[in-house]
């Protein structure tokens, strides 16, 4: 599903975020990406949805070599990937419903489909009561759940999430992880950046550790250790 070959990302001559990273993720896998702040986790995710371009190396996603993807093609790529951004990136002038619906609208889905799916997904993340609110009227955790709902509403084959449980209390975090597990069971490949030791240890999935821009460990049923 994901193939990174010898990937380096140099933002500026003095800032090397990733150094010769090699990573392969099979379809249907559930991978945690852990590491200290500044290790390059977000950078790695940004390469996957073409928000950033690699300085060196090759990236293939679902058989599509996106290393030198053209600007006009990024929309097609991004519609097939669900992304939970670290800073949520909700549209401030759209309601919760409209924010989630937007991911379907860009795919050209018809309204009747949007009107049935979006409330369902919002019910899953526990926000069906707040559909008509605007992002500013929500708490950080609620905004994060909207971001998650938007990332999975169009049933992407690959879902990447940058600290999706960061702002959530233990109970909500657990429920989010349950949702992610369920999505994974339905066949979506997951790459999740997290700092949550408990969740990593509980799920017993593959854990990739980044350290200073390189992969320092890659365990099949890993434990969180830093």
Distance CA 17, CA 35 (A): 13
Are the beta carbons of 67 and 58 closer than 8 angstroms? yes
Q: Which residue's CB is nearer to ligand ADP, number 21 or number 101?
A: 21
Of the two residues 3 and 107, which places its CB atom closer to other proteins in the complex?
107
CB of 78 vs ligand ADP, minimal distance in Å: 18
The angle that helices 140-152 and 111-124 make with each other, rounded to 10 degrees, is 130
Alpha helix segments (H runs only) across the chain = 41-48, 74-79, 96-105, 111-124, 140-152, 170-185, 197-203
CB of 30 to Mg ion, least distance (A): 19
Q: How far is the CB of 91 from other proteins (least distance, A)?
A: 6
Residues interacting with Mg ion, by CB under 5 A? Answer: 42
Q: Which is nearer to Mg ion, 45 or 179 (CB)?
A: 45
Instruction: Tell me whether strands 56-61 and 15-25 are parallel, antiparallel or unpaired.
Output: unpaired
The contact pattern for ligand ADP, residues 43-62, with x = CB under 6 A and - = no contact, is: x-------------------
Nearest distance from C-beta of residue 121 to other proteins, angstroms = 15
Angle at alpha carbon of residue 122, lines to 168 and 188, rounded to 5°: 80
H or E stretch including 217?
Answer: strand 214-219
> Which one of residues 4, 17, 104, 179 is an interface residue with ligand ADP (CB under 6 A)?
17
Task: Give the binding site for other proteins (CB under 8 A).
Answer: 49, 51, 71-72, 74-79, 83, 85, 89-94, 102-103, 105-108, 110-111, 150
| Min separation Cβ 40 and Mg ion, Å | 9
CA neighbours within 13 Å on the CB side: how many for 123?
Answer: 6
Distance CA 62, CA 73 (A): 15
> Which CB sits closer to other proteins, 29 or 52?
52
70 binds, among Mg ion, other proteins, ligand ADP, none (CB under 5 to 8 A by kind): none
Q: According to the binding rule CB under 6 A, does residue 205 interact with ligand ADP?
A: no
If contact means CB under 5 to 8 A according to the sort of partner, which of Mg ion, ligand ADP, other proteins, none does residue 71 touch?
other proteins
CB of 18 to Mg ion, least distance (A): 13
Strand-pair partners of 30: 190
Which parts of 13-80 are beta strand (E)?
15-25, 30-35, 56-61, 64-65
Tell me the C-alpha distance between 25 and 35, whole Å. 18
Binding positions for ligand ADP, rule: CB under 6 A: 11-12, 15, 17, 35, 37-43
């Amino acid at each position: 599903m994901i193939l990174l070959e010898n990937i380096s990302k140099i933002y500026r001559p003095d800032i090397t975020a990733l150094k010769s990273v090699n990573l392969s993720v099979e379809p249907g896998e559930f991978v945690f990406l852990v590491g200290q702040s500044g290790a390059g986790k977000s950078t790695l995710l940004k390469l996957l949805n073409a928000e950033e371009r690699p300085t060196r190396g090759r990236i293939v996603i679902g058989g599509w070599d996106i290393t030198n993807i053209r600007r006009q093609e990024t929309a097609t790529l991004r519609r097939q990937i669900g992304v939970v951004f670290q800073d949520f990136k909700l549209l401030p002038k759209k309601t919760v419903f409209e924010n989630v619906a937007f991911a379907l609208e860009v795919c050209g889905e018809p309204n009747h489909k949007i009107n049935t799916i979006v409330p369902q997904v919002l019910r899953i993340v526990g926000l069906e009561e707040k559909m008509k609110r605007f992002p500013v009227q929500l708490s950080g955790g609620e905004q994060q759940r909207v971001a998650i709902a938007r990332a999975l509403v169009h049933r992407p084959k690959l879902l990447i999430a940058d600290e999706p449980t960061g702002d959530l209390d233990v109970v909500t975090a657990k429920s989010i992880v349950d949702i992610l597990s369920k999505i994974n069971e339905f066949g979506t490949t997951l790459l999740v950046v997290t700092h949550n030791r408990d969740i990593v240890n509980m799920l017993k999935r593959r854990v990739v550790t980044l350290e200073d821009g390189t992969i320092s460990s890659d365990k099949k049923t890993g434990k969180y250790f830093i």
